Amino acid sequence: MSDIFVFLAQQPVLLLFVVIGVGSAVGHVKVRGVGLSAAAVLFLAIGLSAWAATYGVHLEITEALGTFGLALFTFCVGLVSGATFFSSLRRSLGPVLAVAGVLAASAAVAVGVGRVLGLDQAVVAGAWAGAVTNTPALAAARDAAGDATGPTIGYAVTYLFGVVGMLVAVTAALRHRERDTDAPPTLVSRTVRVEATGQPRIEDLEEQHGDRIKFSRVRRGEQSPIRTAEAVDLLLLDDLVTVVGPTEDVDAVTRELGHASSHRLEADRLYLDMRRVTVSAEHAAGRTIGELDLLHRFGATISRVRRGDVDVVATDDFQLQLGDRVRVIAPRERMTEVSTWFGDSSRGLSDIMPVVLGLGMAAGILLGAVAIPVGGTVFTIGSAAGTLVVGLVLGRVGRIGPVVTALPYTAAQAIAELGLLVFLAQAGSRAGAQIGAAFTSGDWLRILALGVVVTAVVAGGLYVVVRRVFAVGGTRLAGIMGGVQTQPAVLAFANARTGYDARVALGYALVYPAAMITKIVLGRILGGL
């Protein structure tokens, strides 16, 4: 083995991909539906490095690769979360602030318990980052402490319970999920025959229901052609109109207008066609549906948008991104033209947008290096927080002039996962040679005890505050727990237990960006104490 380790030490890039490949394979192994996922890469790197140290071989992936991977991860997380993050601040500021408060309380507890246990502050900072399973927080703690070894050892010892403990908390949150009252609406499409005599305007009806519904087709008279509905249309007696939205709102509109018709306008393709189209043309991305003016451009309208695995009603203020799948309703003879205008290419799912990626990453790293005077010291937020902030802003803006500022959802997710794996491999290889000392000296018991306390404080605090104070259902709470823990394994577990209920993903997306920023800031504070 000595010769193999010497060879790997001379080939850091080969070592990186061996660790990523083998570690990911191990992470896919599940026991009762639970696996380590990306965390297995960290533990494999630690194990290999520790094993090599017994032969006197220094097996380490270079620091530059780790910084590169972490910056990629945080930047892409910011891009895909930008719009969700800023809208969540407006709509759910209470739960978001509660999440930050729970994390801050856990950091304060970590400091107190760490002192009682006689642990070095750098180790406490890393142990806290591991207990909340956040690698960017680990990077912030290492940078602030000026010690790459202590925080990483603390992180490695507490990380596993950080995952397992939160899985137990998710199980408790889902125990009574059948009583949840906040199930997300299922979108339905219905043709309604108008019996109201007041000639209601489509635009007024959509506003009345908070833009949760969308009128897509209308037919005036039995022999008239079906056409796309316009906001200014007045609905007359005996008109047939198709409405899309949550069942409850569609039922309400049906009662207001008349009754559900046995005719199905969407099934009649003589005049209008319907097609799912991928947004891959840059001129269509980063703009709201209203700005595209499809009705006057093509006589077309969009009824739904699918981003990732979630369908939403296509409101005029919804901003499209590359890779979105839009359900377009247009005249048959113009459908090909509409598809061509949107691009409708798989490139919309995979384009990495090199200009945005390069300049956005550069701006984030520069922002992270800006020196901020605090008291008598100089404070920098670091490349992880800098790239996250820039990514959030670019994801929210959508486009600047002719330049689209957000990556396609699928491409950004893939890049983020690669960046995370690279950072975990580097961080693990750095700590491997020292981890043995922690376990043989008995320090690991005290570190693990600290981690158990921190994870329990976070899980218990979330359960009490989010569920009891804000009356969030157990299913959405499971997603919030995964988002606060910034842990894909917890998200995957909750999805598997709920059959991929949309509330899990919505809860995860609601708090993930705020939790990520809070953890990076707290990690830096703990590391600098």
Residue 458: predicted pLDDT? 95
37 φ, ψ to 5°?
Answer: 55, -135
Nearest CA to 345 among 251, 404, 270, 410? 410
CA distance 464 to 462: 6
Residue 62: predicted pLDDT? 86
CA distance 462 to 170: 11
- Domain range 187-348, CATH architecture: 2-Layer Sandwich (3.30)
Nearest CA to 282 among 410, 408, 414? 408
Q: What is the DSSP letter of 267?
A: G
Give how far Cα 450 sits from Cα of 67, 113, 115, 149, 200, Å: 27, 7, 10, 18, 63
Residue 132: predicted pLDDT? 93
Quote the tokens at residue 17. Answer: 């991909």
284 touches 277 (CB < 8 A)? no
Q: Tokens 């696996």 label which residue?
A: 35
Residue 131: predicted pLDDT? 93
CA distance 427 to 23: 14
- The helix-helix angle for 135-145 and 382-397 (nearest 10°) equals 140
Instruction: Per residue of the chain (529 residues), give pLDDT as tens.
Output: 888 888 988 888 899 999 999 988 888 777 766 566 677 888 888 888 888 888 888 888 888 888 898 889 889 888 887 877 777 667 778 888 899 999 999 999 999 999 999 998 999 999 999 999 887 788 888 888 888 778 888 888 888 788 889 988 988 898 878 777 666 567 788 999 998 888 899 989 988 888 888 898 898 877 678 888 888 889 988 899 999 888 888 999 999 999 888 888 877 777 788 889 999 888 888 888 888 988 888 888 888 888 776 777 888 888 888 888 999 988 888 899 999 999 888 777 777 888 999 999 999 999 988 887 755 566 677 787 788 889 989 988 888 888 888 888 888 888 988 888 898 888 788 777 666 666 666 788 899 999 999 999 999 999 999 888 888 888 889 989 988 988 766 776 787 778 777 678 778 877 877 888 889 889 888 988 8
In terms of C-beta density within 10 A (0-12 exposed, 13-18 middle, 19 or more buried), how is residue 102 classed?
buried
